[in-house]
Chains A and B, each alone.
Chain A
């Protein structure tokens, strides 16, 4: 079997904050209405968390569940555990109407770390970081492409599509250029 590789081979840039491409990371898109009663058990079985509330991400060690829209959840977990989690979701959801898709290889994930991590993102996204709440997952755009962010372990996790990984890494690196801090 071939080895999974992350889009940019774990590229790294050190500016006034560090930008690291991480992964491969397992990701599952789970779509179901919030009132489907099997949903809580399915998310619990896959990543061991509760169902995230509106715009929230619930982190459980190296696993997490995020609220993407009123009927969409993003599950994050170690890459090699996706198949087992998919099976657990299918079992827990039973006949309930849902869709679960392994999107691990469709995404790129970055970590932006450092005391001024917010500043590197602020320059790229139309997001009011002053009102961003702890545990909030914010979907928006980074320059010209869709991106989702959340705060984790003193930095930000940034998720985008794999096809634009190099573009987003370029954006983040440029935004983190030493000397380009905001005040």
Chain B
């Protein structure tokens, strides 16, 4: 069971109060882009064993989307941050690197 702190309302929300939105920080390739770029945007996902960045929505709470960093193997949660963030915050990345020295970056 995951407990993620919503960065908008500060609630430590239990998993069933949230909705998962898949991998975070995808770069969108829209109309006019190369076929292989569009295909990887549509279908290719990292699915790592270990550190992972995901989109979550506080669907039964404030209704906002946010992003979370967690470990898919241990369910350890490293942190959450607002969705209006192009890449994981530097301090969060440093924290993950300290805990998982072999992590290759997001």
| Residues of A near any B CB (own CB < 8 A) | 54-55, 68-70, 72, 126, 128, 138-141, 146
Contact = CB atoms under 8 A, between A and B. Distances in A.
B10 A140 contact: no
A68 B62 CA distance: 6
Given A126-B16, A126-B17, A139 B10 contact: no
Nearest 4 pairs of A and B residues by beta carbon: A69-B62, A141-B60, A126-B14, A139-B61
B63 interface: yes
B14 to A, nearest CB: 4
A141 B10 CA distance: 16
- How big is the B interface, by class? 10 to 19
Contact of A140 (B8, B60, B64): B60
What does DSSP make chain B's interface, helix, strand, loop or mixed? loop
What does DSSP make chain A's interface, helix, strand, loop or mixed? strand
B61 A54 contact: no
B11 A55 contact: yes
A69 B63 CA distance: 7
Contacts of B92: none
Contacts of B11: 55, 138, 140
Interface string B59-93: 01111100000000000000000000000000000
A70 B64 contact: yes
Given A126-B14, A138-B11, A70 B60 contact: no
User: Which among A54, A139, A146 has the highest number of chain B CB atoms within 10 Å?
Assistant: A139
Given A69-B63, A69-B64, A70-B64, 18 more contacts: A54-B10, A55-B10, A68-B62, A69-B62, A70-B8, A126-B13, A126-B14, A126-B16, A126-B17, A128-B12, A138-B11, A139-B60, A139-B62, A140-B11, A140-B17, A140-B61, A141-B17, A146-B60
